[in-house]
Structure 1
Amino acid sequence: MTTTAPRYVGTSLPRKEDPALLTGRATWTDDIAPAGTLHLAVVRSPLPHAKIVSIETAAALEQEGVRAVYTAEDIDHEFLAGIPCGWPVTEDIKIPDHRPLARGEVNHVGDGVAVVLATSARAARDAADLVDVEYDELPAVVDMADSLAEGAPLVHEELGTNHCYTWPLATGDVDAAFAEADVVVSGQYLQQRLIPSPMEPRAVVCVPDQVGGGFTVYTATQVPHFVRDILSAVTGIADTKIRVIAPDVGGGFGAKLNVYAEEFLALVLARKLGAPVKWTETRSEHHQATTHGRGQIQDISIAATSEGKILGMKVELLADMGAYLQLLTPGIAVFGAFTFCGLYDFGSYSFTCRGVFTNLTPTDAYRGAGRSEAAYGHERIMDDLARELGMDAAELRLRNLHPKFDEPRTVPSGVQYDSGDYETCMRKAMELADYDALREEQRKRRESGDPVQLGIGFGNFTESGGLSPSKVAAGVRLQSGGWEQSTVRMTTSGKVEVITGTSPHGQGHETAWSQIVADRLGVHPDDVEVLHGDTLIAPFGRDTYGSRSLSVGGTAVHLAAGKVLDKAMLIAAHLLEADEKDLEFEGGKFQVVGTAGPSVTIQEVAGAASLAANLPEGMEPNLTADSAFDPPNFTWPFGTHICVTEVDTETGFTRIRRYVAVDDCGVVVNPTIVEGQLHGGIAQGIGQALYEHATFDDAGNPTAGNLASYTVPSATDLPNFELEQTVTPSPTNPMGVKGIGESGAIGSSPAVVNSVIDAVSHLGVTHVDMPATPQAVWRAIMQANQQTA
């Protein structure tokens, strides 16, 4: 049997999703307001740490439109358990009780203490301002480095410590590697807290079914299946009675990879009141009560020979959990353990992560979670090592890259990367940037004393995508399998319907999945309808995060479509009175190989399968198939990003002149979608490198409480991106795909910061923390001047 060669995979078809988004016809959760909806407002703590003395609700209850006001005392019995942590990384991890509304004590600014329900959102918010809460303020711990100090305030007194867990990893003889080294370089690098800031804040609408007794939960989430399952576990409502729908979702970036207090509250209050309950997050609430990203102190040491060959690496992390553990909080830093070794081949490696509690908003996944932090660490230490050796930063990297490999290769952290051709990728990026010419321009600027200096920075990286194989997930105590489910069926008329367990929020699944199925079944992508984000339509799925959708969910689609084609081939052979081994499938038609005889289209086969009047003996009607794919390994996309900056040494102002990126995400399904994902990811990495920082005062009060004080870069702050690809197929799935959703955010921040430091390194500057604001860069230059004076 022969089949059609790809026609659509690899081409930049326009995204099916875009017309509705661009014309304002998309449906967001906030657009949904069933008759009789009660609007929810949360009364939030203005203090980072305090005992709740009393809560007076009478004034709020008297307001027009207010239907109810509740505290934890009123509704806590509605929950069988608190908000769960889904990634307990060690046996002895400390997990504090985390309730949808605080009981007795608040632990960060934004902690919910009461809720108001009213007939309009404005009435609910106005009444919430009238809820009078008396607090007895407690000392707060803000800095993660101070949290383990003797006598530090305890975030959760009942735990007796701010230490959450310690997670170690070691391979090879690290001590011997460091003892044998000609040079050892150490550095401390800060991963500042970030606020995800999607265009659409969080929102939830819960609608009770007065007849069937179930509930439909509309929520702006990346993970509708997780929401259904966890809501059921916490409230005791059967999962068969909870339908979760993720409508159009305006970005997630990991912040919507969670189940939040407001989703639990909406469900139990809809059950309690028998009416729809709706909550839409304000931007200031987003800054206080939606999980933050990053939050690490990285202490890294690297041992090498005088020729620049790396012998070993030590990594010690301090990771800020915030006040509570959300779904994945403790595992984010641990997940980076496997990629701190980057693309580099050496023998010995050790990693230790300590998680600590602070009186700040909980942290959790943020685009590139764990992998971005790791890439920043290893690329910063590589530049520090190059300076110590007096070696070109590119040459040092090239000397230590893994050789090309097409089958899994064990790397210093002990895991197996799937495939890689790192030198080809890096040299292509250097050629695209004209690296030698840039270094010559830099030399001339330095010699001339130009106040505006040129910097060139590298961001080499790999990431563990395809999150995650079930057997590997279990090994790191992630309590969720990494499989994905799909159903593909052809209708009586020959159209195709695809049901996928992945739930997109901007990635273009409807388009890409249509291209995959169109090639497998010989139809046009416009004849493929992709259904997603609804647990009633797609009851099985593991959703979208960790660059997994294509390599796991897309592969499930590919396999299900293959099963449909196999059945169609049997029916076609029966209709043509031929042996299926003698048939070819080309251009959507089946016919005997090498003949101009009779043929039958796959649409005709679908009609015959539906009518069931002329099928092979014992065959069931209809062309439909399910497939669940559980990958044998992560996929490992990689790339080289090069940032070229101009830094004004008199003001510290940085301008990105060029940004070059060569990425390898395996086989590309839609090049335009790949470029779009890279554009967004690089923009976020630049934001972290130069602009964004979730800051707090010494008492734990947020000082970046809105977008006026938290700087997100605009389009005018960003350069054009010069993007190219190499293609190294993954052996872990039949399509050879890897993933691209997080790559831009992983390679960009180290490339940008390395370029800023490189621009002024001849002045004695060797370190600038993110964000490298003009003031931070200017101060670094002034400090270097004082040290050399």
Structure 2
Amino acid sequence: MKFGIGQAVPRTEDARLLTGSGRYTDDVSLPGQSHAAFVRSPHAFAAIGAIDTAEALAVPGVLAVYTVADLDAENVGPIPCNSDLKQRDGSPYVRTPRPALARGFVRHVGDPVAMVVAETLDAARDAAELVMVDYDDRPSVTGTAEALEPGRPLVWDEAPNNLCFDWETGDEAAVEAALSKAARVVELEIVNNRVVASPMEGRACLAGVEADTGRLSIHVTSQGVHSLQKQFAELLNEPKSRIRVLTTDVGGGFGMKLFNYPEYVACLFAARRLGRAVKWAAERTEGFVSDDHGRDHVSKARLALDADGRFLGLRVDTVANLGAYLSNYGPFIPTDAGSAMLVGSYRTPAVHVRVKGVFTHTQPVDAYRGAGRPEAAYLLERLIDHAGRVTGLGPAEIRRRNFIPGSAMPYATPMGQVYDTGEFAQNLEDGLILADMAGLPARKAEARARGKRRGAGLSTYIEACSGGGPEQATVQVGGDGKVVLLIGTQTNGQGHETAYKQILADRLGVPPEDVEVVQGDTDRISFGAGTGGSRSVPVGGSALAESAAKVVKTAIPVAADLLETAEVDIEFAEGRFTVAGTDRSVSLKEVAAKAAAAGGGIAFSEQARWTPPASTFPNGCHIAEVEVDPDTGHVEVVRYSVVDDFGTVVNPMLVIGQVHGGIAQGLGQALQERVVFDPDSGQLLTGSFMDYQLPRAEDMPPIEVKLNCVPSTTNLLGMKGAGEAGAIGAPPAIVNALVDALSEYGVEHIDMPATPLAIWTAIQGAPSRAAAE
């Protein structure tokens, strides 16, 4: 069909969004709403003494000033951490409370201490500046590796040496045996730099009280309303039915909007206390100090190889920064989410991973696009690239020798995953052709003649996707033939509306203009697991396909009655019910009209909940080509080639857009983005876009994408997921390209972000600088 599965059609939501007709959380207003502003800590670590609110309360229009004592008086609970992680010895990890407003101590710059509610935003902000807090400033620790050092300040007394957990997985004895018998052991220490998600739309919420029912409601920027509803109900001691959560359009999430945050809980509390709506929206600098951050690992890796360069075993030791508080999924990201993918696309007989999660006086760290898989892929692909260089096999050949062959599928990895499909070697060979690697020596020579250094780097990746439990979809067909889809995922700008319409067009023959997609409302949608882990269209789309099949099944008796034939003689295709072997048919719209007339309303309403039997495994190959100016350290990504296996693709245009966006984020982390704290004061030094560099259009290279898709056997539609792939493959490909460009200087590794200063410094200190020049 022209709008069915597999068609590269433009997004149907774009006309609305691009002409200013979108409805984001800050666009929503409620009658009589008030405004909130938060008093935030200027210190990384301090004891809270007296809080004087008298001057703030005297500001005209101020309705209230709240501290944690007010929340405690109504038994408002702390924001939970949802991880069930067990330490190496089987004991639970150190759980620490995260109150909506700081209790006793502030533990990072930006920690909310008090909340001002006023008639206007200006009054709230003015009053917030007048709240006087008596702080007893303490020494802090912000560095990831440093947090475990003896004598460092403790974030929590309950966590000696700032250790939240000491976790492991894999076969330590087998890895030690592999290391002892290896012909060669390659080692590398790798930093995965901390980043800020920086979505176009900052976080916001509008909490209110329904006049007719007295229920609480909250409009909030989110990646799924149902998990938030459950948490809000538990924290506020309310039945779930007494809290309605709504999410309208969302301007980017990237994982950061999955979580519950202090501001949301505080605004709900204030709305209930005041009996009126309370609105809050973060300014950009406020987001820098209050949004959850991503990444922030320091790892040491050892790879054992035999004499032919084949992998025998891998050992990884990681210190993962969790921040001052445990976010909803914080401990899960560096452990189960990422470590299982350290096998990558390779036959590695034995793997052992040990992760120490540490508290620091920084913002909490949680899932950021890819959620553990980019961290794993970066470590593995840098290590393998390094091994290819030191063994003399080269980046491509060492991978060829170690790929899991397609003939081995399904393949059980030593980390407990079962890869169902994949042609990893073919991805590499296609990528080398797409990137014209045969012509690279000539391009290197041409660049050198201009005083530049050119290099190319490749990475392969595989990730586990489409988890997060079941998803539910309800398909309602009205008497006019128009369809309403109610689904528990939440678009954050990915194009869900278009993809779902394409699946409906494929399964019901319904044109896109006759479909309304409803997401983000706990009243209208009874269940949903939300968006994250590239699960929305693979899992939600599968539930949708099952619901559509139920609609057809329910409609067949009505169609048979209209066509005056037996039900067994009815066939359905492209929106029409046909008597088999004849040209007699009726449309779904005609059948719906008859059913609605008999039923007095909606013609058909069918619901399905689909649970993925296992993960899906998107995979691919990225090749980046860079040019470096050795005099300034400036680097330009001049060419970028990608071969991706996403299984069945609903819309190639959407998929390629997701790949481009992911590469932009990966490029940002590789070359530009880094959260920096002052090591002495704990102050955030990169608290605005003046100091924190995001990639711009001019930084992006031309990108060629080839789809080499093998359908998944664990997904109803054969899909694998595409949302995170670009951010996984890009950082190692770009850094590998930089190392290639700088190899003549003797540079073997450079940490992200490879800024001009970092590159220039590496060249100046390189052992072969004179020879290279």
State the TM bucket, normalised to the shorter chain: over 0.9
Written as runs of structure 1 = structure 2, the 5 A alignment for 1:324-723 is 324-334=325-335, 335-405=337-407, 408-442=410-444, 444=445, 451-468=451-468, 482-596=469-583, 598-612=584-598, 622-698=603-679, 699-723=681-705
Query: 2:634 & 2:160 partners in 1: Cα distance?
Result: 46
Q: Give the 3-state SS of the residue equivalent to 1:372 in structure 2.
A: helix
Q: Give the 3-state SS of the residue equivalent to 1:655 in structure 2.
A: strand
Is 2:313 aligned against 1:312? yes
Alpha-carbon contact 2:506-2:574 (below 8 Å) kept: no
User: Which one-letter code corresponds to 1:254 in the other structure?
Assistant: G
Q: Which residue of 2 aligns with 1:165?
A: 165
Q: Which residue of 1 aligns with 2:148?
A: 148
Q: Give the 3-state SS of the residue equivalent to 1:165 in structure 2.
A: strand
User: Which one-letter code corresponds to 2:129 in the other structure?
Assistant: D
Paired residues, number? 764
Q: Which residue of 1 aligns with 2:212?
A: 211
Q: Which residue of 1 aligns with 2:726?
A: 744
Query: 2:126 & 2:441 partners in 1: Cα distance?
Result: 60
Query: 1:525 & 1:406 partners in 2: Cα distance?
Result: 41
User: Which one-letter code corresponds to 1:336 in the other structure?
Assistant: G
Superposed displacement of residue 73, structure 1: 1.7
| Residue identity (%) | 42
User: Which one-letter code corresponds to 1:495 in the other structure?
Assistant: K
Change in CA separation of 1:338 and 1:6 when aligned onto 2, cut-off 3 Å:
farther
Match of 2:35 among 25, 39, 60: 39
Alpha-carbon contact 1:682-1:745 (below 8 Å) kept: yes
Q: Which residue of 2 aligns with 1:115?
A: 115
Q: Give the 3-state SS of the residue equivalent to 1:609 in structure 2.
A: helix
Q: Give the 3-state SS of the residue equivalent to 2:194 in structure 1.
A: strand
Superposed displacement of residue 752, structure 1: 0.7
Is 2:194 aligned against 1:193? yes
User: Which one-letter code corresponds to 2:205 in the other structure?
Assistant: V
Superposed displacement of residue 131, structure 1: 0.8
Q: Give the 3-state SS of the residue equivalent to 1:174 in structure 2.
A: helix
Q: Provide the TM-score with structure 2 as the length reference.
A: 0.96
Query: 2:67 & 2:76 partners in 1: Cα distance?
Result: 17
Superposed displacement of residue 786, structure 1: 7.4
Query: 1:496 & 1:63 partners in 2: Cα distance?
Result: 52
Q: Give the 3-state SS of the residue equivalent to 1:546 in structure 2.
A: coil
Superposed displacement of residue 772, structure 1: 0.2
Change in CA separation of 1:240 and 1:776 when aligned onto 2, cut-off 3 Å:
same
Match of 2:746 among 764, 767, 781: 764
Per-residue deviation, residues 61-105 of structure 1 (Å, max 9, x unmatched) = 111221111111223223442110011312511011110001111
Query: 2:126 & 2:657 partners in 1: Cα distance?
Result: 41
Alpha-carbon contact 1:328-1:364 (below 8 Å) kept: yes
Query: 2:585 & 2:372 partners in 1: Cα distance?
Result: 54
More deviation, 663-672/89-98: 89-98
Superposed displacement of residue 367, structure 1: 0.5
Superposed displacement of residue 161, structure 1: 4.1
Per-residue deviation, residues 403-447 of structure 1 (Å, max 9, x unmatched) = 1159532123221122111112121111111111114433x369x
More deviation, 170-179/188-197: 170-179
User: Which one-letter code corresponds to 1:47 in the other structure?
Assistant: H
Q: How well do the aligned residues superpose, as a CA RMSD in angstroms?
A: 1.8
* Structure 1 gap ranges (5+): 469-481, 615-619
Superposed displacement of residue 612, structure 1: 3.0
Alpha-carbon contact 1:223-1:258 (below 8 Å) kept: no
Q: Give the 3-state SS of the residue equivalent to 2:616 in structure 1.
A: coil
Alpha-carbon contact 2:94-2:158 (below 8 Å) kept: no
In the TM superposition, structure 1's runs of 4+ consecutive aligned residues that sit over 6 Å from their partners are 786-789
Query: 1:248 & 1:327 partners in 2: Cα distance?
Result: 23
More deviation, 573-582/538-547: 573-582
Per-residue deviation, residues 521-563 of structure 1 (Å, max 9, x unmatched) = 1221221211111111112101101100011111100111011
* Structure 2 gap ranges (5+): none
Alpha-carbon contact 2:508-2:573 (below 8 Å) kept: no
Alpha-carbon contact 2:3-2:511 (below 8 Å) kept: no
Query: 1:676 & 1:354 partners in 2: Cα distance?
Result: 36
Query: 1:418 & 1:240 partners in 2: Cα distance?
Result: 41
Change in CA separation of 1:383 and 1:43 when aligned onto 2, cut-off 3 Å:
same
User: Which one-letter code corresponds to 1:362 in the other structure?
Assistant: P
Q: Which residue of 2 aligns with 1:66?
A: 62
Is 2:115 aligned against 1:129? no
Is 2:263 aligned against 1:267? no
Query: 1:347 & 1:752 partners in 2: Cα distance?
Result: 28
User: Which one-letter code corresponds to 1:345 in the other structure?
Assistant: R
Q: Give the 3-state SS of the residue equivalent to 1:757 in structure 2.
A: helix
Superposed displacement of residue 773, structure 1: 0.4
Superposed displacement of residue 575, structure 1: 3.3
Per-residue deviation, residues 668-689 of structure 1 (Å, max 9, x unmatched) = 1011111111111110000000
Superposed displacement of residue 621, structure 1: 8.6
Alpha-carbon contact 2:746-2:768 (below 8 Å) kept: no
User: Which one-letter code corresponds to 1:593 in the other structure?
Assistant: A
Superposed displacement of residue 31, structure 1: 1.5
Superposed displacement of residue 140, structure 1: 0.9
Q: Give the 3-state SS of the residue equivalent to 2:50 in structure 1.
A: strand
User: Which one-letter code corresponds to 2:378 in the other structure?
Assistant: Y
Query: 1:625 & 1:27 partners in 2: Cα distance?
Result: 28
Superposed displacement of residue 647, structure 1: 0.8
Alpha-carbon contact 1:612-1:621 (below 8 Å) kept: no
Q: Give the 3-state SS of the residue equivalent to 2:633 in structure 1.
A: coil
More deviation, 154-163/342-351: 154-163
Query: 1:430 & 1:77 partners in 2: Cα distance?
Result: 64
More deviation, 196-205/174-183: 174-183
Q: Which residue of 1 aligns with 2:295?
A: 294
Alpha-carbon contact 2:763-2:769 (below 8 Å) kept: no
Q: Give the 3-state SS of the residue equivalent to 1:400 in structure 2.
A: coil
Q: Give the 3-state SS of the residue equivalent to 2:352 in structure 1.
A: strand
More deviation, 154-163/541-550: 154-163
Query: 1:483 & 1:668 partners in 2: Cα distance?
Result: 21
User: Which one-letter code corresponds to 1:608 in the other structure?
Assistant: K
Alpha-carbon contact 1:406-1:420 (below 8 Å) kept: no
Superposed displacement of residue 656, structure 1: 0.6
Q: Give the 3-state SS of the residue equivalent to 1:319 in structure 2.
A: strand
Alpha-carbon contact 2:648-2:719 (below 8 Å) kept: yes
Query: 2:253 & 2:139 partners in 1: Cα distance?
Result: 33
Query: 2:599 & 2:212 partners in 1: Cα distance?
Result: 40
Q: Which residue of 2 aligns with 1:12?
A: 8
Alpha-carbon contact 1:418-1:634 (below 8 Å) kept: no
Superposed displacement of residue 582, structure 1: 2.9
Q: Give the 3-state SS of the residue equivalent to 1:146 in structure 2.
A: helix
Alpha-carbon contact 1:142-1:700 (below 8 Å) kept: yes
Superposed displacement of residue 7, structure 1: 5.7
